[in-house]
Structure 1
Amino acid sequence: MAAFAEIQSVPEAQNAPVDVTPQPRKKLLGREFYKSIGSPKYIVAPMVDRSEFAWRMLTRSFMSPEDAKRLLSYSPMYHARLFREQAAVRSQHFQPTRAAAGQNDESLFLDGNPSIDRPLFVQFCANDPEDFLEAARHVVPYCDAVDLNLGCPQGIAKKGNYGAFLQEDWDLIYKLINRLHTELSIPITAKFRIQETKEKTLEYAKMILSAGANIITLHGRRREQKGHATGLADWGYIRYLRDNLPPETVIFANGNNLNHDDLERCLEETGADGVMSAEGNLSDPSIFGKLPPVGSEGREYWRGENGKGGYRLDAVLRRYLDIIYKYVLETPGPERKPLYLPSDPKEEEPEPETTAEEEPEDGPPKKKQKQSKSKNKRPNSPSLGVMQGHLFQLLRPMIGLHTNVRDALARSRPGDMPAFEHVLSLVEKAVKSGLDEYEQFPERFAESPDAQLTGSKATIAQYGRPFWVCQPHIRPLPEEALENGALKLKKNAVKNESKENGSEEKATNAGAENSAAPSADLADASTTPLVSG
């Protein structure tokens, strides 16, 4: 048990950053390049304001030191023009040296540091070859490749003319990739979405490869599939590329990877070289790590009577905060007691202390107070500014039941570590209450063997865990979202439907057949996620 727990702690093999001056290297291409970075099988996806340094380190911490070295990570998506033009944007989002973090020191720091943060690809959205090239030159010494985002489906990408909204302009895409392929000293890669047909997707991929892309990542969803219209990714498209492109083509698969078992299944079904996780990684940063054997769970991992389990939320939050202290703040974290287990000797509960920040779970909300300018000031580390967003996604299973955790998290501010420690203390109490309830009343958590479940309910039954365990967020399928009003037909679609006499039944059947690939006539009635596609 002790041996496994030691492997899973924040790896000591990944020591504090050292000054390793980047050396010029021969530019390798295609599969030769892929082999040179360790032929990574698992990949942390590029995510807007989510795949930053501390989260990459947290993800690696659940892997053995050797496996962690082979994990490929992408940076968050950066805007090429802004990154090129504004030094403040570069230092705010990418800190490879201490100077970029505001220190009077040119030594290597966090992003892309060879001792702790490689291999690393840096992703940009771009629509101008010159902007793309000049932005990329800023990161060349600190990463292994530069990636072009051709998959972002969000409205801001449409407005800015980048991401998936370039896919009709093949000439521009070719110029963007080819310019970097011919003039940049490191490889260029690209990430994109499936097209209307497998044949068109193949032609699209061939064009991207002919422009000079050394690795391609295919997300098995179309541009329209986002928010409540996300539906299911189609791995068949990825398999089609694998079967129809030369074997030396390196392909990464993306989409529908909710837990570790899905990763292996995806690799097998698609034939891809590597598998990428975005939202699955945000819900469970241990997704790439091996599960502890039965009987070796320790205090961090929980396994139920049915054999299903996962890492405890309090354990993951502790790791995350400790990584922030160690690498970002470079200060010792607080001393922590061992995580609670119901089998521990019973201790007398201390008198609860009421803090200014804690509210009773059922009490009225406090009046909103104006925040001082100092509290609203953006911290100088990209890893601090996104902590609250990460924790809302990580703690999603818990905060609906334990609203005091939600409220405390909502009051946290970037860089306010006492506030996040307070959130941790509430999470630990919530986990303790859940573990105790499971020990006393396991029947409350038992699955009904006779339940006939379909759609997202069946998926939740398969992937769901008790609230104190990391688990994927399962969205309703598009037809379910239509039924409950979260997804609506666009006005022109409703108008066309009403014109067709007796077409209601036909439309319903067609909608069911195409549930895994929603049409452009569906409008999401809620906020779309931050994952960039």
Structure 2
Amino acid sequence: MPEKHPHSIINMTEESVENSGFRFWRTTLKSCKYVVAPMVDQSELAWRMLSRNYGAELCYTPMFHASLFIKDAVYRRDSLQICPEDRPLIVQFCANDPETLLKAAKLVEPFCDAIDLNLGCPQVIAKKGHYGAFLQDEWDLLARMVRICHENLKVPITCKVRIFPSVEKTVEYAKMLEEAGCQLLTVHGRTREQKGRLTGVADWSYIKAVREAVKIPVFANGNIQYLSDVHRCLQETGAQGVMSAEGNLHNPALFSGKSPNICDITMEYLHYTDLYPCPLSYIRGHVFKICHHALTIHRDVRDLVASAKSVQDIKTAAEKLKISCQADIDRYELQPELFTTKLKLPLPYWICQPYVRPGPDDEEDAEHKELRQRLNLKRAEDKERIFPGDTVLSNNKLKKRLKHPHKKFNVRQKLKFEACQLCPNPKGLKCEYCLCKSCCKAKASKEHLACTGHNIKRKNVQDKEKVEAPTEEATIEDKRLCTVGKLDSPGCQDPQALQPSCDISVTSLNESKILASETSCVTNGAHHQPSDTL
């Protein structure tokens, strides 16, 4: 019998079942309180190590697609990056099939401390892929996925969820996952619909209700911008830990209570990317998050970051930003109101601080509205001055041309393709029969034709016939043997079956006699000697 892992429900007393999650939290996770959330393309190894350096006690990997993880070795190799110092660590998967989730979890089981099932992603791609928060109404499926992992893994299974509009249903949801074997639950205090401009404020009262209803550790997620928010959340919800996502992206030192200079923290992150390489798109995204407020002021640096082709280009942009910020830091000592009141930020823009996403009802103040109108007017004037008469040029194309005034943009008219004569697909531009490649290939095969436009050659058909048809010499030889057998062999029961398909006659009967005297005729499995009566 296979040995069950210490968190399995089977053969456990009621008391041990209730405390298994807390035992895992106290021993393996070391009673952690400060948690970095799983973030697609953002919580890679370099970022996790930077966050751990500033107080993070537990980190999650980015969300991995379980189906891709078990099928694609390249995806698996590039996704899972770990090091001995990156512990404790929880690997998160999205899935909608119990067996697939278990197979993926088995692959990472030796390299992590727990497996997390993503039930909180509200994005459109999760809806199309049928995973994340769009599984929260399929309780039977979720219970089977959690249970199969709980009973077959050596590490615990945890879940990250969003709340329902109803507190009662949210509590029932959490209890269902707990009964299925979930050992730790992370509750994001927003519904599935709260995303983008509709994000709003997370409701901690739901998290508190879940924490009071279940007997496993609970992590709270949502509304975490400063360390003071962490302490307040722990006090109001009673949760065992607090998870941060966006707050951590804008200030990786959040859990330490520090707000470092954006240029310093950026260079430190780039140092970690040298130690733990990652895709350039990840690095670019982190720099945009850390330096968000500064890049809205120093647009030239933003353009450098956006067009960077290497990590060195990012470092060059960061150094230039540091020089630009230093000039404003010197001015700040003389006129601090210029950088607080005017920009309406709680801290100077060169200090790490949270970004507050504007809501749908936020009215644009007069100053920003006037600035936007002036910008639109300037674009219109530049458009008329540089490209007179071109009324169909979009703002994006205008910005691109203003950014590269000496570049020649080759604007081609969109081609209109004619349809194939046999199907709705576009025909080949050089096809001799006005057909698409598929139809042309079928026609050529059927009618023994060739098409230079589709590179279909007639010799392919001829070669096939040549392979299937016997050679002339072999045909004559078979004809001779079969003729001898028909005339001389009493065992030849079906001479027509031995006749070759080609109509080739024997030159003379004497030639057949000479050939028959030297060979034997084998018919119907018997060996017969040629007759001397001929």
**What TM-score bracket applies, with the shorter chain setting the length?**
0.5 to 0.7
Pairing 1:404-419 to 2, within 5 Å after superposition: 404-413=300-309, 416-419=310-313
1:227 corresponds in structure 2 to: 196
2:327 corresponds in structure 1 to: 433
What is the DSSP-based 3-state SS (H/G/I as helix, E as strand, rest coil) of the residue aligned with 1:288? helix
Structure 1 runs (4+) greater than 6 angstroms displaced:
481-484
Contact 1:196/1:222 (<8 A) preserved: yes
Pairing 1:286-301 to 2, within 5 Å after superposition: 286-291=253-258
What is the DSSP-based 3-state SS (H/G/I as helix, E as strand, rest coil) of the residue aligned with 1:190? strand
2:47 counterpart letter in structure 1:
W
What's the offset of the Cα at 1:384?
4.5
Out of 385, 388, 391, which is 2:287 matched to?
391
**1:422 corresponds to 2:316:** yes
Pairing 1:107-186 to 2, within 5 Å after superposition: 111=82, 113-114=83-84, 116-186=85-155
What's the offset of the Cα at 1:446?
5.3
What is the DSSP-based 3-state SS (H/G/I as helix, E as strand, rest coil) of the residue aligned with 1:122? strand
- CA 1:286–1:220 in structure 2 vs 1: closer, same or farther (change >3 Å)? same
What is the DSSP-based 3-state SS (H/G/I as helix, E as strand, rest coil) of the residue aligned with 2:297? coil
Q: What per-residue deviation string (whole Å, max 9, x for no partner) do you get for residues 284-340 of structure 1? A: 10011144xxxxxxxxxxxxxxxxxx2101110111111122x22xxxxxxxxxxxx
Pairing 1:77-476 to 2, within 5 Å after superposition: 77-95=63-81, 111=82, 113-114=83-84, 116-246=85-215, 249-291=216-258, 310-325=259-274, 327-328=275-276, 381-382=277-278, 384-413=280-309, 416-445=310-339, 447=341, 464-476=346-358
Measure the CA separation in 2 of the matches of 1:241 and 1:429: 49
- CA 1:389–1:472 in structure 2 vs 1: closer, same or farther (change >3 Å)? same
What's the offset of the Cα at 1:209?
0.6
Q: What per-residue deviation string (whole Å, max 9, x for no partner) do you get for residues 243-297 of structure 1? A: 2233xx2000000001111111111111100000000000110011144xxxxxx
Measure the CA separation in 2 of the matches of 1:385 and 1:268: 38
Out of 22, 26, 30, which is 2:21 matched to?
30
What's the offset of the Cα at 1:25?
11
What's the offset of the Cα at 1:27?
3.4
Measure the CA separation in 2 of the matches of 1:245 and 1:181: 17
Measure the CA separation in 1 of the matches of 2:257 and 2:247: 15
- CA 1:85–1:482 in structure 2 vs 1: closer, same or farther (change >3 Å)? farther
Q: What is the TM-score with the length of structure 1 in the denominator?
A: 0.63
2:355 counterpart letter in structure 1:
H
Q: What per-residue deviation string (whole Å, max 9, x for no partner) do you get for residues 55-109 of structure 1? A: 011112223xxxx5xx1100000000000111011012113xxxxxxxxxxxxxx
- CA 1:437–1:252 in structure 2 vs 1: closer, same or farther (change >3 Å)? same
Measure the CA separation in 2 of the matches of 1:26 and 1:383: 36
Out of 34, 47, 70, which is 2:39 matched to?
47
What is the DSSP-based 3-state SS (H/G/I as helix, E as strand, rest coil) of the residue aligned with 1:59? helix
Q: Which runs of 5+ in 2 are unaligned?
A: 8-19, 367-534
2:58 corresponds in structure 1 to: 72
Measure the CA separation in 1 of the matches of 2:334 and 2:241: 43
- CA 1:56–1:166 in structure 2 vs 1: closer, same or farther (change >3 Å)? same
Measure the CA separation in 2 of the matches of 1:483 and 1:243: 43
Measure the CA separation in 2 of the matches of 1:42 and 1:240: 21
Contact 1:230/1:478 (<8 A) preserved: no
- CA 1:387–1:133 in structure 2 vs 1: closer, same or farther (change >3 Å)? same
Measure the CA separation in 1 of the matches of 2:158 and 2:298: 43
Q: Which has the larger radius of gyration?
A: 2
- CA 1:216–1:481 in structure 2 vs 1: closer, same or farther (change >3 Å)? farther
Contact 1:78/1:125 (<8 A) preserved: yes
RMSD: 2.1
Measure the CA separation in 1 of the matches of 2:148 and 2:316: 50
Q: Which runs of 5+ in 1 are unaligned?
A: 1-23, 96-110, 292-309, 329-380, 449-459, 485-533
Contact 1:202/1:241 (<8 A) preserved: yes
Moved more, 235-244 or 219-228: 235-244
Measure the CA separation in 2 of the matches of 1:256 and 1:42: 14
Measure the CA separation in 2 of the matches of 1:290 and 1:313: 15
Measure the CA separation in 2 of the matches of 1:169 and 1:57: 36
- CA 1:446–1:313 in structure 2 vs 1: closer, same or farther (change >3 Å)? closer
Measure the CA separation in 2 of the matches of 1:412 and 1:75: 26
Contact 1:53/1:383 (<8 A) preserved: no
What's the offset of the Cα at 1:482?
11
2:244 counterpart letter in structure 1:
S
What's the offset of the Cα at 1:33?
0.6
Q: What per-residue deviation string (whole Å, max 9, x for no partner) do you get for residues 189-212 of structure 1? A: 000000021100000000011110
Contact 1:120/1:144 (<8 A) preserved: yes
Contact 1:238/1:270 (<8 A) preserved: yes
Contact 2:204/2:233 (<8 A) preserved: yes
Contact 1:94/1:382 (<8 A) preserved: no
Q: What per-residue deviation string (whole Å, max 9, x for no partner) do you get for residues 381-434 of structure 1? A: 545441011111111111110011100001113xx2220121111121122022
Identical amino acids, percent of aligned pairs: 45
Which gives a bigger RCO, structure 1 or 2 (Cα 8 Å, sep 6+)?
1
2:22 counterpart letter in structure 1:
R
Measure the CA separation in 1 of the matches of 2:45 and 2:261: 22
Contact 1:52/1:383 (<8 A) preserved: no
What's the offset of the Cα at 1:481?
7.2
Measure the CA separation in 2 of the matches of 1:482 and 1:144: 47
What is the DSSP-based 3-state SS (H/G/I as helix, E as strand, rest coil) of the residue aligned with 1:480? coil
- CA 1:94–1:25 in structure 2 vs 1: closer, same or farther (change >3 Å)? farther
What is the DSSP-based 3-state SS (H/G/I as helix, E as strand, rest coil) of the residue aligned with 1:164? helix
Aligned pair count?
351
2:449 corresponds in structure 1 to: none
- CA 1:25–1:141 in structure 2 vs 1: closer, same or farther (change >3 Å)? farther
2:354 counterpart letter in structure 1:
P
